[in-house]
Structure 1
Amino acid sequence: MPSRHISGLRRRRRARRRRRAARDWADGLPADVLLAILHRLDHIDILMAADRVCRSWRRASMDEPSLWRRVTMRGHEGIARRINRCGMACEAVRRGAGQCEAFCGEHAGDDGFLIYLGQQSSCLRSLHLISCNDVTDVGFTEALKALPLLEELELSLCDNVGGDGVYEFVGEVCQPLKCFRLSKHCFNNKEKNVDKDALGVANMHGLRSLQLFGNVISNKGLETILDNCPHMDYLGIRHCFNVDMNKTLLAKCAKMKTIKLSDDPIDDYDLQVESAGMTVQSPVRTYAWRNLWPFNYYYDIPISHDYDISFPPLSR
């Protein structure tokens, strides 16, 4: 009886080894070919699927920081509320091994993640945050202190960022900043302090590209920005209906290469546009699908923290 049991164990072990060998079918692929394949995948797909294909794919995704130099975590609406995107974002930054230069996240950031990003990626040059309602002024400003090389910044549909003094702080800390994008859910003509954002943006003196959407900025605020940002060659103010492009503003914009006015078409606008007065709900973050990957490790991190996501050609 014991001999039968031992022989059965041996057969099962041999079967497992055969299955493992068959599963590791990418062993013969050259490293550059394998990386070329992985570079074509979305980073969420790498973390949730490609990372589990076989040992070769997993080693390549874990041990090659260049794969995580420019991280994009957008879309995937069908599963956005069933996975821990902040944990996945932290894992992506960790795999970058300090070489992450650009991060674009949709529903994929909070204060803890931003601080972690600053600690791990001080060479970051591009940061795009979209619908990150868990990011607040406190965490955002704290993270910026560790990102002095930032050249591109987007804060779209981030309802909890943009309090008094925040954009002024951006201009003071991020001196190399050249591109700034600020998108609101919709134009709200009930706001009283219409030029609050404009006074902060005017402190970003090195701007070459400014994209505002749904902002209540007035002519006076736009003039202030143009007077303080003399190098700007791209201006987008679509759905900024308080601006009336008079002769004064047109003269200040005469040297710009591209201008998109408040009534211009938004066919190429890549974010959701809502009607005025619509209630915007914060995304619900749950932690199902833990069997796929233990991304919830991120919440143990103490808080002390080939995708082109740059602005050019500035068509948005």
Structure 2
Amino acid sequence: MASASRTPTPAQPEQTRNWLELPPEVMATILHRVGAIDILANVQMVCTTWRRICKDSAMWRVIDMHNLGDLWDMEHDLEKMCKHAVDRSEGQLIDINIEYFGTDELLQYIANRSSQLSRLRLVCCHNVSSEGLSEAVKRLPLLEELHLYYTSIAKESIEAVGRCCPLLKSFKLNNQGSRRPHIDCDEEALAIARNMPALCHLQLFGNKMTNDGLQAILDGCPHLESLDLRQCFNVTLTGNLGRRCSEQIRDMRHPNDSTEDYGFDAEIHDCESCDEEYPSGFSDIDFLSDDDEYYEFSGASNGFSDYEELFFD
């Protein structure tokens, strides 16, 4: 018996997702992961819907100016972009991350317009001075987290932070670790101990403090829950001091603990082996750049480009 012929089932059209149909709050969450630089330089140029989302002040409560540090080849002005992002927050900014390009003037600009700021992160900002930071924190009474990576400040600035930011709970003052030459310095540790009694989390990666400085911190910061002393090679956690740390600190990182999860170049740069080309402690890999071209915040001219006129309306 011949088999009955079957009419072929027509292929179903492949369904595609229209990103423009996503709810605005979902789209905003997705776009925010791109980072502030790409949002200002690229994302908001895609379509009117994305531009409308990108101009919403709620998009700028958190500003992440992460970059790879290749500032010499960048065609856009990161400081100008950052100021524009702060302006878009309309005073709602609570969290900002600045890498490589921070200056005293930019920090003051942020402080003057962001009284609600609770988290400030500066990475390798050599143009931020102790005086500049001390002046800025006077306008940041709600600051709860201050994280400084390879950004040098004096003890006077630490004292100013402690006085002006009574809600400070997390402080990071991280530098490049070294064993030679042997230098002891407890100034920063003592400034922390005397001015930041409410601290819960403290990271002093590569600090020159001694056991005396650590003892002062344990006495002056009774609420400490976590303490990171990796590459603090002048500290010896033995005897009574070691026992006190284990009893008082819930999460303790010792000087010789692994740095695998640190996130930055943790190579120990002693004077004998230090590469002067990268005094901040960053390796070649940190200076790789993207191939993306940015136009509207170009630093090539003093005036606004046609793109900038569009975005600053």
Same fold (TM over 0.5): yes
| RMSD after superposition | 2.7
Residue in 1 that maps onto 2:296: 293
Q: Are 2:170 and 1:167 equivalent residues in the alignment?
A: no
Q: How many matched pairs?
A: 268
Residue in 1 that maps onto 2:82: 89
Q: Are 2:103 and 1:110 equivalent residues in the alignment?
A: yes
Could you report, residue by residue, the CA deviation over 1:83-142 in whole angstroms, capped at 9, with x for unpaired residues?
A: 322222212211111111011121131111100110111110011101111111121111
Residue in 2 that maps onto 1:276: 270
Residue in 2 that maps onto 1:32: 25
After superposing the two structures, state which structure 1 stretch, 129-138 or 275-284, moved more.
275-284
Matched residues in 2 for 1:221 and 1:188: separation? 18
State the SS of the aligned residue for 1:94: helix
Question: Which ranges of structure 2 fall in alignment gaps of 5 or more residues?
Answer: 1-17, 304-313
Closer, same or farther in 2 for the Cα pair 1:232/1:56, shift >3 Å? same
Question: Which ranges of structure 1 fall in alignment gaps of 5 or more residues?
Answer: 1-24, 301-316
Residue in 1 that maps onto 2:233: 241
Matched residues in 2 for 1:42 and 1:124: separation? 18
Matches within 5 A, 1:176-255: 176-187=167-178, 189-190=180-181, 192-202=183-193, 203-253=195-245, 254-255=247-248
Residue 290 of structure 1: how far off its partner (Å) = 9.4
Residue in 1 that maps onto 2:59: 67
Residue type of the partner of 2:198? G
Residue in 2 that maps onto 1:313: none
Closer, same or farther in 2 for the Cα pair 1:156/1:186, shift >3 Å? same
Match of 1:144 among 134, 137, 140: 137
Closer, same or farther in 2 for the Cα pair 1:290/1:97, shift >3 Å? farther
Match of 1:101 among 94, 99, 102: 94
Is contact 1:91-1:295 (8 Å) kept? no
Matched residues in 2 for 1:74 and 1:281: separation? 20
Q: Are 2:267 and 1:264 equivalent residues in the alignment?
A: no
Could you report, residue by residue, the CA deviation over 1:189-238 in whole angstroms, capped at 9, with x for unpaired residues?
A: 43645111111111211111111111111000100111000000101100
Q: Tell me which of the two structures has the higher relative contact order, counting C-alpha pairs closer than 8 angstroms and 6 or more residues apart.
A: 1
Identity of aligned residues (%): 34
Residue type of the partner of 1:178? K
